[in-house]
Amino acid sequence: MKKLINGAETVLEESLDGFAAAHADILLLGPERKFVRRRTLKPGKVALISGGGSGHEPLHAGFVGRGMLDAACPGQVFTSPTPDQMVEAAEAVDSGAGVLFIVKNYEGDVMNFTMAAEMAGREVASVVTNDDVAVEKSTYTTGRRGVAGTLIVEKMVGAAAETGMPLAALKALGEEINRRTRSMGVSLSPCTVPAAGRPNFTLADNEMEMGVGIHGEPGRRRVALTSADAIAAELCEAILKDLAPKPGSEVLLLVNGFGATPLIELYLMVNSARRILDGAGLKVTRFLTGSYVTSLDMAGASVTVSVLDGQAKELWDAPVHTAALRWGA
């Protein structure tokens, strides 16, 4: 194992210290590194909190800031954060308008955020993301996995929260965005968890995993490596079959890298996926390309398609200022 670390047991703590120092104008690190929070809170705004196991950076801490999350709770690598982390984050960022938890559909995340909501002693609602069409269930989930579509929910709901939208409306908005969003990924190589010191699954040089999860969980099938066009076709066809968008719909296309895929390949995948969506009668009017929901050093990518309406476009285009996403005023 070759990694830029000092010791497997201190990876998260040292990374969080560096992250907080590098983005001190945007965020603060909470006591005992239990959460990352916005440096400047907006009074009267519903507080948005997300979190999950580390190793998926910049998800979630990289999306803390104006126009997205108020706080994020990092667990150990591929391990859910604990309920006390969410409770303390809620205490730190709730300005009186309530708290919305945005939770990826993994068993540990759902269980711990549910416990935190019961323990928080304040008004809390939750949105669970489950955009992965690859498999209905896995050993990590009680249904479809929450993957890169979580970013889209966090961005749009975050923009709505900035306008003063109340908690119940934000929950309904998040659930609607989740319903209009689907993802599927492909892995070309495994990833290596520092504490394990070895890859968490194996792939031959001529193999890929179609429908892989962001922890390396198995997908639909293991197949021979093929062209980017063929990979994009399988991913998009699975997404469109499930999403069933109306012809002529406007969509957002997110091509997300898993951590070890260069941008030249991700943009090539954008080109392939865009042609397929065009051929299906859809209009790709918004794009996001890069490594945003990663799996340590895994090579591969996911495609996410989200159906847009006027409100969704406005929320996506709204200003955002976080460590990983920045645009607008």
Q: Let me know: does 126 contact 152? Beta carbons within 8 Å.
A: no
Q: Any residues with CB less than 8 A from the CB of 153 and at least 6 apart, and which? A: 102, 127, 129, 174, 177, 178, 181
Q: What is the DSSP string of 70-130?
A: SEEEEEEETSPPPHHHHHHHHHHH--SS-EEEEEES-HHHHHHHHHHHHHS-S-EEEEEE-
For 257, the enclosing helix (H) or strand (E) is strand 250-257
3-state secondary structure 128-160: EECCECCCCCCCCCCCCCCCCHHHHHHHHHHHH
- Cα separation, 235 vs 243, in Å, equals 12
**Known catalytic residue: 215?**
yes
CA–CA separation, 90 and 152 (whole Å): 22
Q: How far is residue 220's CA from residue 47's CA, in Å, rounded to a whole number?
A: 37
Q: Is 60 a catalytic residue?
A: no
Question: Active-site residues: which are they?
Answer: 56, 215
